[in-house]
Amino acid sequence: MDNQAFESLLAKWLNETITQEERIQLEKHKDFASYAKIAKYTAEFYVPGNSEDVLYDKFLAKASKEKKNTVRSIRPLVWLSGLAASIVALIGLFQLFSGGNVHFETSYGEQLDLWLPDSSKVVLNSKSTLTFKGNSWDKTRRVKLVGEGFFKVKKGSSFAVETPQGTVRVLGTAFTVNAYDEMLEVVCFEGVVQVERNGEIHLLKKGAALRQIGNDAFENWQIQQQSPSWRHGEKTFNNIPLKFVLQSLEYSFNKKMKASNLDLEKRFTGSYHTTDLTLALTTIADAMNLKFKITKGEVLFY
């Protein structure tokens, strides 16, 4: 059984939709017992209203009795709503206990709340991945991000977010990193953030934002909000090329965005609601003096 088939059966098992034949097949997998134990503990200790810290402390206390010297003082958030979030968290938790790389991933229109081993919090936006090494976390405090994430970092040693477009370093603060394709955008909500890209170092204080697209000049602006708008169902842009707005729409609604005879470098400032496709498309089209047509699986702007 390959990994994709195993994860598919595991998802059915968690959602209680698995058949008896499929369950027999699943239970034969070498890793099933470990996943089952983790899932059992998380379900056993879940009580509505309890904080994630309290829930995880209970889980850790029981799990440590059975796997001494393999469970560390970690706090990934496994008390998640929705099947997709649950299966991702369960797999990531298993990887962390196994001492390997921990991997989290979101799909179209999804967000995922996570706790890192030092109690720093990360919220992944749509179509994003975050990885780190569980067995060396205490020494490095380093994660790799592809996509967009909101970080609330606990104070301590240096914390680094590595992306294909550059590295963000902090000691303890709240900020977002947007690292899709050739763009790197960082917004600082608390503390101070250091951005390293293309041989340059920039320091951002609370309320400051920085962006570079490819090798273009760095762009700076100020923000007023206390957290990213996409955490509350709205995606906001400040003077950004239209092509990134269309990409964001695609990631939010899982529909291919196409453009016919448009200048995709034309800049857009504004926002759209991430829960209503037609309203979002109308908002962008009206602001940019465009028209759009929705077909099966895609949207055409013209």
Over residues 265-291, the pLDDT tens digits come to 999 999 999 999 999 999 999 999 999
Domain end (from 202, 231, 260) = 231
φ and ψ at residue 207, rounded to 5 degrees: 90, 0
**151 and 227 share a domain?**
yes
* 75: confidence class by pLDDT, cuts 50, 70, 90: very low
Task: Please write the tens of the pLDDT for every residue from 139-153.
Answer: 888 999 999 999 999
The pLDDT confidence band at residue 156, using thresholds 50, 70 and 90, is confident
CATH number of the domain encompassing residue 178: 2.60.120.1440
Mean pLDDT of 192-218: 94
Residue 68, pLDDT above cutoff 80: no
Looking up residue 291, the CATH number of its domain turns out to be 3.55.50.30
Decide if pLDDT at 197 tops 50: yes
pLDDT of res. 37: 60
Nearest to 236 by CA among 283, 190, 277: 283
Let me know if residue 121 belongs to a domain.
Answer: no
Q: Of 204, 231, 258, which residue is a domain's last? A: 231
* Mean pLDDT of the 230-236 span: 93
Distance CA 271, CA 123 (A): 20
Q: Which is nearest to 267 in space by CA: 189, 186, 227, 213?
A: 213
N-to-C CA span, the chain = 46
Q: Is 51 part of any domain?
A: no
Evaluate whether residue 95 is within a structural domain.
no
d(CA 141, CA 156): 9
Residues 148, 221, single domain; the answer is yes
Q: What is the pTM of this model?
A: 0.72
> Same domain for 152 and 224?
yes
Residues 168 and 208 in one domain: yes
- Per the domain annotation, does 49 fall within a domain? no
Q: What is the mean pLDDT of the chain?
A: 81
Band of pLDDT at residue 104, cut at 50, 70 and 90: confident
Helices (H), 67-116: 83-97
Give the confidence band of 93 by pLDDT, cuts at 50, 70, 90: low
Looking at the structure, tell me whether residues 146 and 227 fall in a common domain.
Answer: yes
163, 190: one domain = yes
Average pLDDT of the segment spanning 104-120: 84
Tell me what pLDDT residue 55 has. 45
Can you say how many angstroms the Cα of residue 17 is from the centroid of all Cα atoms in its chain?
27
Q: Same structural domain for residues 245 and 288? A: yes
Number of domains in the chain: 2
List the beta bridge partners of residue 106: none
Q: Is residue 175 part of a domain?
A: yes
Q: Are residues 216 and 290 located together in one domain of the fold?
A: no
Q: pLDDT value at position 66?
A: 41
Question: Mean pLDDT throughout 93-98?
Answer: 54
User: 110 vs 20, 84, 88, 196, 251, CA distance in Å?
Assistant: 30, 9, 12, 28, 9
Is residue 69 in a domain?
no
Q: What is the CB neighbour count within 10 angstroms for residue 49?
A: 5
Same domain, 203 and 146: yes
Give the end of a domain, one of 183, 199, 231: 231
Please give the average per-residue pLDDT across 112-120, as a whole number. 80
Residues 6+ apart with CB under 8 A from 192: 170, 171, 173, 203, 204, 205, 206
Residue 242 lies in a domain: yes
Residue 65: inside a domain, yes or no? no
Domain that holds residue 238: 233-301
Between 111-125, 236-250, 254-268, the lowest mean confidence (pLDDT) is in: 111-125
Angle at which helices 277-288 and 242-253 pack, to 10 degrees?
A: 170
What are 240's two structure tokens?
A: 């950004």
Q: What was the pLDDT predicted at 92?
A: 54
Strand segments (E) across the chain: 101-105, 112-115, 121-124, 129-133, 142-152, 159-163, 166-170, 174-179, 183-190, 192-197, 200-205, 208-213, 219-222, 234-241, 256-259, 267-273, 292-295, 298-301
Residue 225 and residue 252 in one domain: no
Query: CA-to-CA distance for 173 and 165, rounded, in angstroms?
Result: 21
**What's the confidence (pLDDT) of residue 138?**
76
Same domain, 175 and 257: no
Same domain, 167 and 217: yes
- What number is the average pLDDT over the span 15-36? 79
